[in-house]
Amino acid sequence: MSKKQSISEDTLLKMGLHRNADGSYSKAKTTLQPREKEQVIVKNNELRKITITLFGEPMAKQSVRSTKSGHFFQPKKYVDKEKDYRNQIAKQLPKDFVMFTEEARILKLHFIYPPLKAFHKIKGRMEQIKDGILFPKTTKPDVCDNLKKLPLDSMSKLVYSDDSIIWAEDNVRKFYGTGGCVIIEIEGK
């Protein structure tokens, strides 16, 4: 039984996907353009929700490095990527957005990678990707730690006060699809 066949239909529905006849997964057509400001400021301490799309190929963040003299540093490419993400986040936040300070829950965290060169050799695969179909990415980096770290660190002090207030992460996935981006849906108060 292949990995594609082992996913239950219920799980696919929760992910917003359905299985095609060829065994691939498809999702309602989405555009990778920033969405209109979905943030609704809610009064009376109710949960608020926001969706952010970070453009660029997802990158796993490595631990800090140290020199022989004991100096600790983060490689420049990670510092630059975090600055880029922070700029993108700031541009997508509504002007009247108030950061989450009590609690936050990641409802969706999807990492979309550009298609592999080998996909061009598979008949119809690129057309499916252009139509918005996502294919599961089962290779490195793993989703558990390093891949989530960069976008979540980038949202700190912009979307939420500190990442310690995140109490749940649901629907964390990585796919091959059109372009490269990270789609984050988060709710909190």
pLDDT above 90 covers a percentage of the chain that reads: 42
pTM of the model: 0.71
pLDDT tens digits, 48-96: 999 999 999 998 887 766 777 877 777 888 889 999 999 999 999 999 9
Coil vs helix vs strand at 71: coil
pLDDT tens digits, 109-124: 999 999 888 887 888 8
* Helix (H) and strand (E) counts in the chain: 4, 10
C-alpha 100/C-alpha 189 separation (Å) is 5
Please check the confidence at residue 42 and state whether its pLDDT lies above 50: no
What DSSP letter does each residue of 145-182 carry, written as one string? IIIHHHHHHHHBTTTBS-GGGEEEE--EEEEE-SS-EE
